[in-house]
Amino acid sequence: MPLLNPKPFESDTRADWCPGCGDFGVLAALKDALQKSGRQPHEVVVVSGIGCSSNLPGYIRTYGFHGLHGRPVPVAVGIKNANPKLLVIATAGDGDEYGIGFNHVVHAARRNDDIKLIVMNNEIYGLTTGQLSPTSKLGQKTKTSPDGSIIYPLKPLPTILGAGGTFIARTFSGDPKHMSWVIQEAIKHRGFALVDAISPCVTWHNIYDEVKKLFYRLEDRGYKPDDENEAYKAMNAQDGIPIGIFYRREDKQSFQERLAEINGGRWAADNVKSLGSEIAQSLVQEML
């Protein structure tokens, strides 16, 4: 694979994550994927919630929206409905999107909203210094489970498959070139795309070595992501940690396509007349 090329989407703001944080790999892969997609910065919106990972919109040169805890998906859907010409990407952590905001994820998958969701999954609440998260393993010791968790972890990928998800993938920040490729494929997809990014928290729950020993690429084993039953088996594999595209379905219309269809082929943005510079500036000032 060629070297990562993030330059067109480089921000003047330096990321202040802990040295070695997996989110650096996600950020580099996303910028590279956007550059290779042929998109320009003004054609992209990155939306986030709350958490270490949710600072990402400030570290990339696109439009950005830093929202509420667990709520990047409804904001992203609203933006996409208002202007379907934009590429809308939501970024969040496992506590953000697999916890308080998981209901939004399930229904975005069910509707097949044409947004892309990258969840930086580190099996811990990192920003609030190491509490149990929805994906923490059984027996995992954290600040809120000092004797080991007695709660079974959530399995988000099979859940989204059951909800009707049309693009479901897993990546690893220790393999950013592969992650870039997966994100590029998610960008191409017509509809909702979930990319579960294993992004270790080196401060509170460092799983780099564990994942490096166990991960393998699905495509290296000849896997084809076109069968729902095989996808379910792969997501529940016991022989390691598979990364890659588990499932992809391109024949299901997105919600935005269906919305345009019932509106006589017009997108919501086509029905909006120009506000004029004075009104637009006044709205901007009101929101500052």
Residue extents of the structural domains in the chain: 7-287
- pLDDT value for 242: 98
The whole-number average pLDDT for the span 60-71 is 93
Rounded Cα distance between 181 and 173, Å, is 12
Count CB atoms within 10 A of the CB of residue 218.
Answer: 19
- pLDDT value for 1: 47
- pLDDT value for 256: 94
- pLDDT value for 3: 59
Model confidence at 98: pLDDT above 80? yes
Tell me the average pLDDT of the chain: 92
The whole-number average pLDDT for the span 28-41 is 95
Model confidence at 176: pLDDT above 80? yes
Rounded Cα distance between 184 and 8, Å, is 16
Q: Which of 68-72, 134-138, 210-214, 267-271 has the lowest mean pLDDT?
A: 267-271
Rounded Cα distance between 14 and 51, Å, is 17
The whole-number average pLDDT for the span 259-274 is 68
The whole-number average pLDDT for the span 268-276 is 60
Model confidence at 240: pLDDT above 50? yes
pLDDT per residue as tens digits for the range 162-171: 999 999 999 9
From residue 123, give the alpha-carbon distance in Å to each of 94, 95, 101, 155, 231.
7, 8, 16, 12, 22
pLDDT per residue as tens digits for the range 207-230: 999 999 999 999 999 999 999 999
The burial of 159, by beta-carbon neighbours within 10 Å (0-12 exposed, 13-18 middle, 19 or more buried), is given as middle
The whole-number average pLDDT for the span 182-211 is 96
Percent of the chain with pLDDT over 90: 83
Model confidence at 282: pLDDT above 90? no
- pLDDT value for 274: 61
CA 245, 19, 143: angle at the middle one, nearest 5?
80
Rounded Cα distance between 256 and 191, Å, is 9
- Annotate 206-252 with DSSP letters as a single string: --HHHHHHHEEEGGGGT--TT-HHHHHHHHT-SSSEEEEEEEE--SS
- pLDDT value for 156: 97
- pLDDT value for 272: 54
- pLDDT value for 278: 83
- pLDDT value for 265: 66
Considering only CA atoms, which of 119, 141, 116 is closest in space to residue 130? Answer: 141
- pLDDT value for 8: 85
Model confidence at 254: pLDDT above 90? yes
Considering only CA atoms, which of 166, 210, 214 is closest in space to residue 191? Answer: 166
Rounded Cα distance between 219 and 267, Å, is 36
pTM given for the model: 0.90
- pLDDT value for 33: 96
Residue type, 59: Y
In CATH terms, 7-287 corresponds, of 1.10.287.130, 2.60.40.1930, 3.40.50.1220, 3.40.50.970, to: 3.40.50.970
